[in-house]
Amino acid sequence: MFRWSCAHRLSRSLCQTRFLSTDPLLDQLKICISEDQVFQLVGKNKARLSVTHVGHAINLLWKFQKEKPRMLRTIDQVRGHPEFIALRILAENKIEFMEDNALVEILYNILRFSVEPHDSLVQQLVMEGWRRLERFNLKEISKFAVCLGEQHMHMSPLMGHIASIVDGILDDVQDARILSSLMVNIHGVITPMLRDRLVDKADSLMDTLDVSHFNHPRRIVQFLRNMKHTYRPLLEKCNNAFLQNIGQMDPENLSIIIGLYQSLQYNNSEFRLMARNRLIEMVDQCNNVASYTKLFAALGPMAGQETREKLEEGILTMVDGMNPNQLLAVLGTMEEMECRNTLLIARIASLLQKYLGIYRPVELARITQAIVNLRCQTPELFSMLQKILERNLKSSFIPGDVAMLARVISSLPAARVDEEVFSKVDAILPQCSLSDLSSLALAIVKWVRTEQPSRYSTSGGLGNLLHKLNTCGHERITKIDKIDLFLEELKYITGDWLEEVLLKDAISTCERLIDQITWKNLPEFALFITRTNYLCAPVLNKIASVATEDITKIHYNATYAILLPFVVLNYEPPNGEAFFDACIQHVLPHLNSLDPHLVVLLAYSLALAEYFPEELIKAVFNIDFLGRLDAQLETFSSTLNLRIRLRLMELNRAVCLECPEFQIPWFHDRYCKQLQHRANAGISSVQRQIHQLLGEILGGINYAKVSVMTPYYHTIDFECILDKNKKPILYLDQNVLSADLSKVQWGNGGQLQETKSLPPGAQRVAIEFLDSKAFSKNSSNIKGEYMMKKRHLEILGYHVLQISSLEWNSMELSTKDAWMDYLRKRIFTDDL
């Protein structure tokens, strides 16, 4: 029996060998080891080439290219070779005989050689693929979608057909590679319902994904970016896959992921730190323009000063060999780094002039913004840019492009535009989104200020244009009936236009759409309300109600955004205690998962509202945590770094003053002295005037001090001391500051008292003048940070008088006598 079995297997093997060897030409193709051998074989056997031979030859040519480093690939030479052209002609003639898999594979590989989408072979393959689409399997559909995406057909009916098929078979997809490829290519033609189904499917597949394939999660993150959908549970799974593969990533992959995270406003400190370390390791290994450019783009904004200087020196030696896209990437990175290397800026500006004519409008806008922010001193570049920008604006019929170009033109130094530009802006206004209108408003206001010499300015035309723009804004915002569209259009509005023109309409729209506020849009909606600085009780009550009811459905990372409008505007909703407690309890179990800077911001925001969860406070003021925070802040921009450090100091101060039982040490003394040293110590003319008024009221200039520094470094506008009979006490030494903690101690009731006490019954009085920043837009309710300062001063033993600048500058207080009477009443009749 055994002998018969062996004989049978041998017979079958011989049959297979004989079958495989019946196509000698295919056998010869399979043993080719270079493009030249393939072309030689094709050239000698054109008449004998079957559809199988053609497909195998094309696939083999791409296989050879793929195995080479990018810098050594010869795509252009292969594409222009006569035998490759012959293969394309043969393929076009044999399309109807191709198997489904072969058709998709040939289309995919032909596109790898940068064959244009309008090439007849590509078009015929696409059309044949469309005809066969319903019978394609999942892998073929996915690869076909990739081919369409590379031809910029994301919004085509054909891609819509693919999306429809995916909608029907999504439950059967079990391959993360197939799913992620489909997601990133059909994003432009899917419904919100299909988007959510795709996200859920990706979320489930990530649990079983082989984490070594980091391109799959990268495409998923790209899909989320394209959809502007920050779904954090899925993002975190993708991020975990990236963390496990950082050692295998090159600068290009790291640069792509960092860019995607920035677009999604997603930050993960562990990834940033590991990515930075990985990139620093590769600095000396990147010795060509392509890789060094990607390294510069990824590492530059996160690097320390020494590394930045090294990167700038390296990029300066390579800049002459850069193509237009690389120059653009370097320029954008320099802007993000706030680069001040004048030699590098000048060299980039000089090279850009050669390529301005080939950049797209959005790229021209990025260039203009960057060179303005970098303070470039190249008048020729500005002049060329203005001409090209104006030419693009006049020829464009896309409202978003016109608005973008108008905004950047107005940012150019001494820019003068002609009436055709104004006419174009006038014509497209009714079609503009709120974001576009905001950009145009900024441009028009700048043109008004520069006194444009045209009929638009001389006859009030620019004023009329601005009036028409405002009218369009009012009409558009009042017609919006979907809160998600409302938030999308207002998300990127910058400047004062929203505040000065649309604010009341925006709040009215919020009230009108209040029933559409759900746990899904709550964080973004809360951030918008914070930006408006408008205290609308019904809207804030709704936010608190939804958050309290659905807090478990909301990602813990969004807790800070939800709390922000309440603590900033100093508003407690009817269910205030339940609301704050729900938020606190929701986030406490996840403190170790939050980025360190977000933990600091969260703790500070709660401190504004007088909430000091001990677990949160102890988590912040921990040596290990502060070390992680320092490491994270090194990767931030200087502006964000300073902001977080300031918030940490303010939190430290608040805990020391309001929760001494926690025994958290004050460790910001040197930091505050540095801030004090950098701050402008001069006294303004208004302060000098009020100081003189106080001197007259109190009996002399030495009875009041100006710009007083307290313990824990609060600055008080004015200070005076009254005895138990409310009589002023003279300051013997005007130069002595009150910021020495050695002179104070804790007294009964949690108040700080000076060890060198005042006379019995005497009282320090702090007089604080609050400008408009201390109040919300529509009420006299004092904002959270100013109320916190008042609490702290009272703990330090002060009686605090907060005087509104609006009240001070009112008609009732328009004379010196009125000011003095007002101050006298506040100082001497207020209960001390």
Q: Which two tokens stand for residue 394?
A: 């006049």
Give dist(CA 716, CA 793) in Å, integer.
9
**Average pLDDT, stretch 127-143?**
95
pLDDT score recorded for residue 676: 83
**Average pLDDT, stretch 313-317?**
93
Total Cβ atoms within 10 A of residue 629: 21
Orientation angle between helical segments 35-44 and 82-93, nearest 10 degrees = 60
pLDDT score recorded for residue 220: 96
- CB burial readout 701-723, b (16+ within 10 A) else e: eebbbbbbbbbbbbebbbbbbbe
**Average pLDDT, stretch 602-621?**
97
**Average pLDDT, stretch 596-603?**
98
- CB burial readout 173-196, b (16+ within 10 A) else e: beebbbbbbbbbbbbebbeeebbe
Environment class of 771 (CB within 10 Å of its CB; exposed 0-12, middle 13-18, buried 19+): exposed
Longest dimension (CA), the chain: 124
pLDDT tens readout for residues 449-471: 876 555 455 446 788 899 999 99
pLDDT score recorded for residue 831: 63
Helices (H), 282-356: 289-299, 305-318, 324-337, 342-352
Give dist(CA 598, CA 587) in Å, integer.
11
Ordered by start, the domain boundaries in the chain are 21-135, 680-829
Strand order across the beta sheet in which 798-804 lies: 705-709, 715-722, 763-770, 798-804
pLDDT tens readout for residues 56-85: 999 999 998 988 888 788 889 989 999 989
Orientation angle between helical segments 251-264 and 215-226, nearest 10 degrees = 30
pLDDT score recorded for residue 473: 95
Give dist(CA 767, CA 822) in Å, integer.
13
Orientation angle between helical segments 120-132 and 138-150, nearest 10 degrees = 140
Give dist(CA 753, CA 744) in Å, integer.
5
Beta bridge mates, 719: 705, 766
pLDDT tens readout for residues 215-227: 999 999 999 999 9
* Least confident window among 34-43, 197-206, 274-283: 34-43
In the three-class reduction of DSSP (H, G, I as helix; E, B as strand; rest coil), residue 759 is classed as coil
pLDDT tens readout for residues 327-357: 999 999 999 999 999 999 999 999 999 999 9
Is residue 512 scored above 90 in pLDDT? Answer: yes
Residue 812: which pLDDT band, with cuts at 50, 70 and 90? confident
Report how far apart, in Å, the C-alpha atoms of 638 and of each of 302, 303, 497, 641 are: 10, 11, 28, 5
pTM of structure: 0.87
Give dist(CA 232, CA 240) in Å, integer.
12
What average pLDDT is seen over the chain? 89
pLDDT tens readout for residues 271-305: 999 999 999 999 988 888 988 999 999 999 999 88
